[in-house]
């Protein structure tokens, strides 16, 4: 996934929730309350957003985009298998709720999800299956590079809003959904223009090719027409 359901939920207005509560009335003229979006629906819209991102980037990057390690630090406490495990690090400034993390020791490695950032040095991990020790343990954040998670979440929210408003006999396209889609498309355009570089991804086009490789001289033995030694040049 290019973004988590937490990224998706963070862009929802207050009258729409991801869970079992009511979303209120999407249209001012509607009197019918609707159930909130379910996690399954959120994943559906996120996948739709991923398809849009991949279709736009495929001319310049190999898709689907790969997960890369964006941050790594040592753990400062011993970890045992369990749920809602507290992990202490030097600083939690790089971590966010919903992040996919990698716990790694000398002989074991696993991925998990950040449930909550408790304070400046402590975060809670949903589930840990192995044991890790402060002398050798490390924790890393793995995700697709920025700003792809935000772009995907914006597109997913825009699709969700359009469906909600259409089902409620409101205008087929909501203003909020349209704005989120515009912001996402503008961000993708900056990636395609080369103003934003996607770290750790493989290219398929020449936009990011090193300039010295374009029209470079080949081997003299491979092409005498390209290069001639001084004694061989016509007088």
The terminus-to-terminus CA distance of the chain in angstroms comes to 65
Q: How confident is the model over 198-204, as a mean pLDDT?
A: 88
* Residue 228: band (very low, low, confident or very high) from pLDDT cuts 50, 70, 90: low
In 56-88, which positions are buried (b, 16+ CB within 10 angstroms) versus exposed (e)? bbeebbebebebeebeeeebeeebeeeeebebb
Whether the per-residue pLDDT at 140 is higher than 60: the answer is yes
d(CA 90, CA 159): 39
Compare 135 and 174 and report the one with higher pLDDT: 135
The two structure tokens encoding residue 161: 């809003």
pLDDT per residue over 78-112, tens digit each? 999 999 999 999 999 999 999 999 999 998 999 99
Largest CA distance in the chain: 92
| For the chain, the helix, strand and coil percentages under 3-state DSSP, each to the nearest 5 | 30, 20, 50
> How far, in Å, CA of 137 to CA of 73, rounded?
9
Q: Architecture of 68-143 per CATH?
A: Beta Barrel (2.40)
> Interior CA angle at 55 toward 54 and 56, to 5°?
90
| Domain boundary assignment for the chain | 1-65+147-235, 68-143
pLDDT at 52: 96
């Amino acid at each position: 996934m290019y973004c988590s359901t937490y990224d998706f939920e963070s862009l929802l207005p207050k009258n729409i929730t991801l869970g079992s509560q009511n979303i209120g009335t999407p249209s001012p003229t509607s009197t019918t309350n609707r159930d909130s979006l379910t996690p399954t629906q959120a994943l559906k819209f996120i996948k739709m957003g991923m398809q849009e991102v991949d279709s736009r980037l495929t001319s310049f990057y190999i898709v689907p985009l790969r997960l890369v390690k964006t941050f790594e630090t040592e753990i400062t406490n011993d970890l045992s298998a369990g749920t809602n495990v507290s992990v202490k690090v030097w600083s939690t400034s790089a971590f966010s709720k919903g992040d996919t993390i990698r716990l790694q020791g000398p002989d074991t490695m696993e991925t998990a999800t950040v449930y909550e950032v408790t304070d400046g040095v402590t975060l809670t991990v949903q589930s840990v299956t192995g044991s890790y020790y402060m002398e050798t343990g490390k924790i890393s954040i793995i995700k697709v590079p920025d700003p792809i998670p935000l772009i995907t979440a914006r597109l997913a929210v825009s699709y969700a809003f359009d469906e909600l408003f259409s089902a409620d006999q409101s205008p087929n396209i909501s203003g909020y959904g349209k704005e989120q889609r515009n912001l996402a498309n503008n961000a993708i355009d900056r990636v395609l223009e080369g103003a934003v570089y996607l770290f750790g991804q493989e290219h398929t086009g020449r936009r990011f090719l090193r300039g010295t490789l374009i029209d470079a001289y080949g081997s003299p033995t491979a092409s005498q027409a390209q290069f001639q030694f001084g004694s061989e040049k016509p007088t």
